[in-house]
Every structure is written in C-alpha cells, then in structure tokens.
Structure 1
Amino acid sequence: MDGSEKHSGNSESGAGGTRPLRLVMPAGDRAHLPDPIPSAQMTLVEQLTEWARLRIDERVFRAGMRMPSIRQLASEKGISRFTVVEAYERLVALGYLESRRGSGFYVRDRLPHPSVVAPPTSPAIRNVDVTWLLRSMFHSAESHKAPGWGFLPNEWLDGELLSGAMRSLGRQPGGHFLSSGTPLGFLPLRQQLRTRLEELEIGVTPDQIVMTSGITQAFDLIARQFLQPGDTVVVGDPAWFVMFARFATQGANVIGVPYTADGPDLEALERIAQAHKPKLIVVNSVLHNPTGTSLSAARAFRLLQLAEQYDFTIVEDDIYCDLCPPGHAATRLASLDQLRRVIYLGSFSKTLAANLRVGFIAASPDLAVSLTDSKLVTGMATPEINERVVYKVLTEGHYRKHTERVRVRLERARDETRARLERLGIRIFPGQVAGMYMWADTGVDTNAIATAGHEEGYLFAPGSLFSPSQMPSTWTRFNVASSADPGMLRFLADQMERLSGLPSGSGTAGP
C-alpha cells in the first residue's frame, strides 16, 4: 500500500465488509469542521492525516491522549492498517503525535494556545484548555444536535424585538451614531438598568454602572483590577470554564470549591481562605452554571461573613437573572451587601442574542471609576449602537413578556429532559428546578462521549471543562432547550453502554 488511492469512488474493506471512507466531512448539514482541501484531490493517507490533524488542533484529541489503535481505526474507517500506519507516521513527523514502543501513538504536548496558557507561577492550572468547546460551538450549526450548547436556540428567541428596535433607531438622525460613545456607556441604558436593579433591591446610581462587551469583558476588567501573578481566585467546581482561562492569563492561582444544592460548600471555602487568602471568589447566586442551583439565604449571609473575615471580594455573576421564575427562592448577594464587598455582573446574551455583546458591571463608586479607566485603556468605549438597541428593547414594553414565554418553555423542556435522561439511567444533580441547564452524571467518562459525538456532529459539554483541575469526569451539562433529539439520545445511550460495558438493551433512548 503506497497511500496513492483516491477518495472519489474508492473504498477499502474493513472487518464488516466494504464501506465508503468518511474522513474529511463534506460541506452540508453534517459539516462541523472546515474542509481546507477537497477530499477528491487527496489520497486516503492524506485524508486520514488531515482528519487527525484537525481534531488535534480542535482539541478533540488532547495532549497526552492515546490515539485509536491501528486495528481499531482501520476497522472504524474501513481502510487498511497500512494506511493508518503511514498516516500516523506522517503525524509523528509533523509533530502532532509521538510513538511509544509497545503502547501506541499519543498526542504530543505541543505549544498551548496563548489565550489559555497559565504562567509558570500557576502550575495547578497549566493544562486548562477551554477552546475545544468554544471552537465546537462555532462549528456546530444545528442546535437540536448540541446538548452542550451554551445559548438558547434561535427559534426560542424573538428576532422581531431586535429588528423592531433597529428600525426605530434607523429613523433617528444618523449623526447620533457617529461619536465614539461615552466611557461608562449609553446613559439612558444605565438609567434603565438602575431601575431594574432597584427591583432586585440593589441600590445604585447610573455612575456605578459600567457597560461592557458581555460578561467576558467584565471578567477581564475585574481580573486586571484585582489580580497579580500568584494571587488566588476561588471558583465553583464545577463552574463556567471561560473565566478559568481568563484568570489564568492574569497569572492567578485558580482553586475550585465544591458545589452543593444550596451553593458553594462554605466549610471547604473557609479552609481555602485560611490556606490561600484569596483575592476574589466568583459565584452564580441564581441559576448557577452548570448545576442550575441557587444560593440559599443562610448560605448567602455566611458567605458575606467569610468575605469580611478573610478580606476577599465576591463577584456575583447574575447573567441568568431574567430566566429566574417569579417566586423562585433566590438570594442575591448584592442586595444584602449593597456593593460594598460584592461586584454585580449582568448581561443580555442569554435572552436577546448571543452576538449582541451587551453586559454591565455594578460596583461601588470608587471601583466603578477604576474599572472605567481600565476599560478605556484596554478597549476604549463599548459600541453605543448595541447599547441603544438594548435600551429600545427594554423600554418598548415587550421584553418582559418575551422572557416570561421563555421561562414557561424552559420549565416544560426541563421536565421533559429530566424524564428522558433518567430513563437512560443518568443521575441528576439535586436542587435544579429552573433555568437552562441540567447537570447530570452519566457514570462514564464524558470526555469520551464528547469526542465520539464530535465525529457524528453532536456537541456535548464534558464535565472536565467545568472544573479548574480539568480532570476526567462522569458529569456533563445538558441544555434543556436542545436535548430532545431522538438521534442524539440514542447515540448517548449507545456510548454509555459501550463505555460502561453494559449489555445491549439496558436502557431506552426514546423521548
């Protein structure tokens, strides 16, 4: 075998007979990775090399991971073992793989992505790698095949709210949109946000509200304000993975505190505070990502006591505020503390549009000034056009009805998703009664499920991504708005059986 056979019209015999080779995905409804070279112009060896290279670059196959055996990959792809051997040898030569005698081929630990590498002072998080899921989110175009998706499907949102607001702006004089905006952000929107925060019993002035390009920029500004290399930040374990990487780039030591149905384990937090003297702790007090739980009043009071006792600042990320049902037991730290030791964050990416990128920070007056200075230095003013759009949406009277419809739909989808997952034998984390997400224990390595799903066009969010330790996990996050597809559920059931060694037929994947 010299590797010269072409893909067009040709196949090789595998263990189960003759099957067409499917290595580089063609464009179409299954495409979720780029196809830089037309497969018809590539030999089978070239196709297999490109297939593996893309998956290593996408971090589907991660540093240190053992590649499929030569026999296994030849059988799965319906090609000869000689083709696999030659492709693996090329990947070794290209620096993607290393060969270990008697053990197989492993993904080499190449230079890490600059946005997630931790400095030498933070060895505990040197292997943090969140770009796999982020890249996959942008490649996955079908929400019904993406239970790991971090946003609501487009069909759940109200595009007319945005288009109506933009039409209204279009009738205004064009000169309104030519200036660079103001440092704090569009004043009428900040005044409207003050009213919304007062409804949550958080007292602020418009000058205490700093507009940002989403929650990610808010974390960036806070990290620059508070952290020096070697400082400790406490996050949930599990928690939102993007902030792990952001704090790592600042040189912080990121430590996870276990989560319970009522919020973070405060006994564990006090031990961490005694040993590491953290500068910050980040909390989703309402509808925590990914567990879906909310902070109890007793735990909120105790957390504020610990912040005072051990002199750390609390960052309260309330991005899911508008998805919280009326009457849901939710205690916001900022309402108890009134922004003395608490920094409050909000955003509209979950309820309006992912690409609108309008968020905000509410903080003490002095801190708001410092954060605004940092905002100007790192990115100038935020785009005022986006902020004007949000202002129109919030003040024209339809936003509350929109969020109410979404909450009702989420409640129904949550009940249905729970029933489907439990029929598969999946265990649900306690205390989840509202919101977008369901945190669930599959009993098997969810990294393996995510890797296999990527090949079939499914996007799963493995539990390892939600822990600062990045250790393999049996847990995974389900978006209840995109977890109903029967094909996805059958695939999940099959993978759980394969990975656990259970006999076939031990569960059902039907809705």
Structure 2
Amino acid sequence: MTNTVIQAAISRDSGEPLADQIVRAVAARIDDKHLRAGARMPSIRQFAGAHGVSPFTVVASYDRLVAQGYLESRRGAGFFVRERSSLNTGLQARLAPGPAEAPAEAPKLDVVWLIRNLFRQAPGQASSAAGVLPAEWLDGPGIAGALRAIGRQPGAMLLNYGNPYGYLPLRQQLQRKLAELEIEARPEQIVTTVGATQALDLVARELCRPGDTVFVDDPAWFLMFGSFAALGLKVVGIPRLADGPDLAQLAAMASLHKPRLYVVNSVLHNPSSTSLSAAKAFQVLRIAEEHGITIVEDDIYCDLHPGQAAQPATRMAPLDQLRRVIYLGGFSKSLAANLRVGFIAASPELAQRLADRKMLGTLTTSDLGERVVYKILSEGVYRKHLERIRARLDGARPQAIRRVEALGLRLESLPTAGMFLWVDAGRDTSVLAAQAMEQGLLLAPGSLFSPSQLPSTRMRLNVAAFEDARLWDFLASLPS
C-alpha cells in the first residue's frame, strides 16, 4: 500500500470521522486494482503509526472493510485484501451504464405505484400524498430521549424475545387509554402488532378463508385492498357518506354477500376526515348482528381527534365492548411511523388466537419500540404533544380549505379535525397524478381509494403539507 496516497485522503479538518475517511480511501484503492486480492494489509500498529491515527480507529476501519467485503481477517496472520466476488462484479455491472433502451411504458398508477413513490422521497419530506405528518411536526427529541433512556437499561432486558402478546407495561398503559374511550379491555385482551397493517393482516388471516368477502368503506385506506386480495378475499366497497356508511347499501350488500368482516374508520375516516354519527353507529351494529358480520374498527387516527366533548364522534367498540367489534390502534400518525407499534383489542378468546397466529408469523414483535412508546405514554408528555399537533392542524386546515376553494376545487364536507381533505378536482385525478409526477410532485388520486379502482375526480390532500409551493403552482396551472 502506498502510505502517501492514504495519508493524502485523510483530513482532520473535514469534520468527517477518520474511520469513514480510511474506509473510503482503502476501498477506492481496492476498487481501482491498486491493491490486489491476497495482498497483506499493514498491521494495526503499523497503519496507526504511519498515518498518525489511534489503533482503535484502525480496528474500526478494518472491521468495516471486512463487513463490506473488501478485506478478510485471518486469525493470527492479519488482514488481507479479499477476492472480489462475482456478486460484487454483477452488482457493478448492473450499476454501470448500458446501451440505450426503448422508452419504458408509462407506469401504471396503482397502490404499489403510490407507496413506492412515497418511499422514494427524502426521509421526513412532507408530501400532499402522504398519510403521515411532516417530521418537524413530531417530537423527534422526545423519542431520541426515550431511546437513550431504554439503552441505559440492563442489557439482558434488551436481548431476549418479547412477550407474544406484547410488552406488558405498554398493554397496561393501553388498558388505561382504552378506558378513557369507555372501552373495557384487560391486558390479556390486547395484542401488540407491527403497526395497523399487521393488525389487519392478523385479523383477516384468523377470521377469513380464501373466497370470503370483506366489506370496506368506499373510499378507504388503499393498502388493505391489495393485502386482502393477496389472501384470496373478495373486497367489496360500501359507499361512505359524511356521517358514516350508506346504511341502505350496507344492508342490501350484507344480504347479498354475507361478509365475514367490515373494516371501518369510525373517527377521522381516511381519506375524508369525517366521523361516524351515533345514529349510524347503532344501525351498523344492528346490521352486523343480523348478518353475523365482525366489525373491525380501525382507529389509527384516534389521537388526532380532540375528543367527544369538543366534537361529536362515535366509536362502535364502546357500544359493543369487544363482543362483535375488534378495535385497532397505533402510534404511527402521532409519534413516529418508524416505531411501527400498533395493537389489537378483542375478546379474550380471540386475543389469544391472534397472539398465537402472531407467534406463527413473527414469534413476537420487538419490544424495543414498544418500550419507547410506553415510556412516552407513561411520562405524561404525550398529551401535550397531541395538543400541539391538533393546534397546528387546526391552524393549517382553514387556510388549506380556502386555498383549495379559491382554485375552484370542491369539498363535499368540511372536516373540523384530522389531516386530510377529500377534494373533487372535476377531472380524472389519475391523469393529474401522472402530470404532477412529471414535475416531481406526488399526488394521491381518488381511484386508489376505491376497491373498484375506477377513474375518479377525487384526490386526497394532506393539510400538513400545504406549505409546498410546487403543489399550489401545479393546481393553479390547471385549466378551469
């Protein structure tokens, strides 16, 4: 190895960790064939002395180069340049520019398209198509503090499997949270999940068989359509009105299809941010009882609602007390999507079956995230955090509504809580989404929110992302 080359690549004034600089410099020498396979690297002491760094820095650098496939460690002999595998060669070939290809067909605007493009965005970047709040609205320092506190706990507590039902102190905390909603659920009736997505999957796998029918709101959260279809289930949409489902349609379709489940957002429905009325809630439960339907009440936006005292909203789980209703919740919308902590509350017998099914799929959920959520919930700071989020949404929502209406777009209902507006653009929003994507702007067209996937003039907008000037420039450019 040429010491002067490596030495020249190391700068103590750059602010970049020395180990990062060493790894990059050595890797470059190997990629450029200046260091051949089998060549012996200087010993840790020799490298440290030659480059004026500590042996600890060299150890860290060598270990990372081993992990990345550049070096191999031979016990008692030292470190050697590793033969670059065909895997690496193939990867480089795939990354290298190839011959020009014929233009690809325009991408199909489906659920996978939207999710794929949401995840391609820079982390924390606000998007009008997203179903989460911008990162700067959330309590990053609070979560980081909780993580540090958990990291100081005895190591043995962090190294084993969790409880199949979930971290017990969190379930006890959730028992208190549900009691505030007038839902009685003991800890053994609560099963933690990897977000609401796994919760829906567990319920569907446990209660349905291929060929069964599942009812959903129309419109509704699009991801579950594909998830249910992958299980061989028939997904049927029930028209959603401002105060809940169309009861005449629900009763008629229940007689026709005999569904196993009906998945519904009672509070802050996605995508309209409307809530179920008390009259509708009782009628939905009556129809479910008559036709033997299990209600799955997805209340993922629960904590964004100001409460019954401030705004009317009725949940079915308190009325039914988890006999025919399964209640789902989580913290991806209010704390952090990356924590992936959700939960199911159900009857004791069903909760045990769901915990068993969870074990068959994942053994347990990781209780590291669950410990973080428990710490935040139990220390009393969560309530203040929610008040700040709601106040910020309440400030953004009226401005967003005024701007939308000023552009000639129509709102069938004016939500007074939540993060979404369900907007009628008066034209096929799949076409709009394709045009917006050409400008690097992601929209959520209405067709994705219906199990029929038919063209729609609606689209969902996130009021927390309305500061993006590109969105307004695009909407303003549309012909009237």
* Rounded Cα–Cα distance in structure 2 between residues aligned with 1:308 and 1:205: 24
- Aligned residue number for residue 322 of structure 1: 303
The amino acid across from 2:408 in the alignment is G
Which of 150, 163, 168 in structure 1 is aligned with 2:131? Answer: 150
How far did 1:161 drift?
A: 1.3
Which of 144, 148, 152 in structure 2 is aligned with 1:163? Answer: 144
Which of structures 1 and 2 has the bigger CA Rg? 2
The amino acid across from 1:221 in the alignment is L
* Rounded Cα–Cα distance in structure 1 between residues aligned with 2:431 and 2:124: 21
Which of 234, 251, 254 in structure 1 is aligned with 2:215? Answer: 234
Which of 387, 393, 398 in structure 1 is aligned with 2:376? Answer: 393
- Partner deviation per Cα, 1:111-140 (whole Å, 9 max, x = no partner): xxxxxxxxxxxxxxxxxx411111010012
Alignment check: 8 A CA contact 1:144 1:482 kept = no
SS in 2 for 1:191: helix
SS in 1 for 2:461: strand
Alignment check: 8 A CA contact 1:349 1:358 kept = yes
* Rounded Cα–Cα distance in structure 2 between residues aligned with 1:482 and 1:144: 9
SS in 2 for 1:303: helix
SS in 2 for 1:448: helix
**Where do residues 173-322 of structure 1 align in structure 2 (5 Å cutoff)?**
173-322=154-303
How far did 1:37 drift?
A: 7.8
Q: 1:372 to 1:143 in 2, by over 3 A?
A: closer
**Which consecutive residues of structure 2, in runs of 5 or more, have no partner in the other structure?**
1-92
* Rounded Cα–Cα distance in structure 1 between residues aligned with 2:123 and 2:167: 35
* Rounded Cα–Cα distance in structure 2 between residues aligned with 1:142 and 1:172: 29
Alignment check: 8 A CA contact 2:261 2:295 kept = yes
- Aligned residue number for residue 72 of structure 1: none
SS in 1 for 2:365: coil
* Rounded Cα–Cα distance in structure 2 between residues aligned with 1:145 and 1:382: 29
The amino acid across from 1:183 in the alignment is P
- Aligned residue number for residue 479 of structure 1: 462
* Rounded Cα–Cα distance in structure 1 between residues aligned with 2:126 and 2:297: 31
- Partner deviation per Cα, 1:117-166 (whole Å, 9 max, x = no partner): xxxxxxxxxxxx41111101001228676211111000110101111111
- Output the aligned Cα RMSD: 1.7
- Aligned residue number for residue 16 of structure 1: none
- Aligned residue number for residue 74 of structure 1: none
**Where do residues 320-359 of structure 1 align in structure 2 (5 Å cutoff)?**
320-326=301-307, 327-359=310-342
- The answer to whether structure 1 residue 450 and structure 2 residue 433 are counterparts is yes
- Aligned residue number for residue 6 of structure 1: none
Q: 1:144 to 1:354 in 2, by over 3 A?
A: closer
* Rounded Cα–Cα distance in structure 2 between residues aligned with 1:42 and 1:415: 51
* Rounded Cα–Cα distance in structure 2 between residues aligned with 1:213 and 1:147: 25
- Partner deviation per Cα, 1:250-287 (whole Å, 9 max, x = no partner): 11111101111101111110010011111110110000
Q: 1:384 to 1:142 in 2, by over 3 A?
A: closer
How far did 1:194 drift?
A: 0.1
* Rounded Cα–Cα distance in structure 2 between residues aligned with 1:471 and 1:436: 25
- Aligned residue number for residue 67 of structure 2: none
* Rounded Cα–Cα distance in structure 1 between residues aligned with 2:403 and 2:196: 32
- Aligned residue number for residue 398 of structure 2: 415
Q: 1:294 to 1:431 in 2, by over 3 A?
A: farther
Greater mean alpha carbon deviation, residues 483-492 or residues 321-330:
483-492
The amino acid across from 1:399 in the alignment is Y
The amino acid across from 1:374 in the alignment is R
Q: 1:225 to 1:274 in 2, by over 3 A?
A: same
The amino acid across from 1:413 in the alignment is A
* Rounded Cα–Cα distance in structure 2 between residues aligned with 1:371 and 1:232: 20
* Rounded Cα–Cα distance in structure 1 between residues aligned with 2:360 and 2:384: 38
SS in 1 for 2:259: coil
- Partner deviation per Cα, 1:47-77 (whole Å, 9 max, x = no partner): x63xx36x53xx34xxxxxxxxxxxxxxxxx
**Where do residues 455-466 of structure 1 align in structure 2 (5 Å cutoff)?**
455-466=438-449
TM-score, with structure 1 as normaliser: 0.73
- The answer to whether structure 1 residue 371 and structure 2 residue 354 are counterparts is yes
Which of 460, 468, 472 in structure 1 is aligned with 2:451? Answer: 468
SS in 2 for 1:172: coil
**Structure 1: which 4+ aligned runs deviate by more than 6 Å?**
36-39, 142-145
The amino acid across from 2:210 in the alignment is P
Alignment check: 8 A CA contact 1:235 1:254 kept = yes
SS in 1 for 2:334: coil
How far did 1:235 drift?
A: 0.4
- Partner deviation per Cα, 1:3-35 (whole Å, 9 max, x = no partner): xxxxxxxxxxxxxxxxxxxxxxxxxxxxxxxxx
The amino acid across from 1:382 in the alignment is T
How far did 1:493 drift?
A: 2.5
The amino acid across from 1:425 in the alignment is G
SS in 1 for 2:337: coil
- Partner deviation per Cα, 1:460-507 (whole Å, 9 max, x = no partner): 00000000000011100000000232221111222x31xxxx4xxxxx
* Rounded Cα–Cα distance in structure 2 between residues aligned with 1:162 and 1:449: 37
- Aligned residue number for residue 430 of structure 1: 413
* Rounded Cα–Cα distance in structure 2 between residues aligned with 1:331 and 1:407: 19
SS in 2 for 1:222: helix
The amino acid across from 1:220 in the alignment is D
How far did 1:330 drift?
A: 1.1
- Partner deviation per Cα, 1:81-108 (whole Å, 9 max, x = no partner): xxxxxxxxxxxxxxxxxxxxxxxxxxxx
Alignment check: 8 A CA contact 1:410 1:480 kept = yes
* Rounded Cα–Cα distance in structure 2 between residues aligned with 1:431 and 1:207: 39
- Aligned residue number for residue 44 of structure 2: none
* Rounded Cα–Cα distance in structure 1 between residues aligned with 2:415 and 2:205: 33
SS in 2 for 1:315: strand
* Rounded Cα–Cα distance in structure 1 between residues aligned with 2:246 and 2:351: 30
The amino acid across from 1:289 in the alignment is N
Alignment check: 8 A CA contact 1:234 1:255 kept = yes
Alignment check: 8 A CA contact 1:238 1:256 kept = yes
Alignment check: 8 A CA contact 1:436 1:481 kept = yes
TM-score, with structure 2 as normaliser: 0.78
* Rounded Cα–Cα distance in structure 2 between residues aligned with 1:207 and 1:370: 11
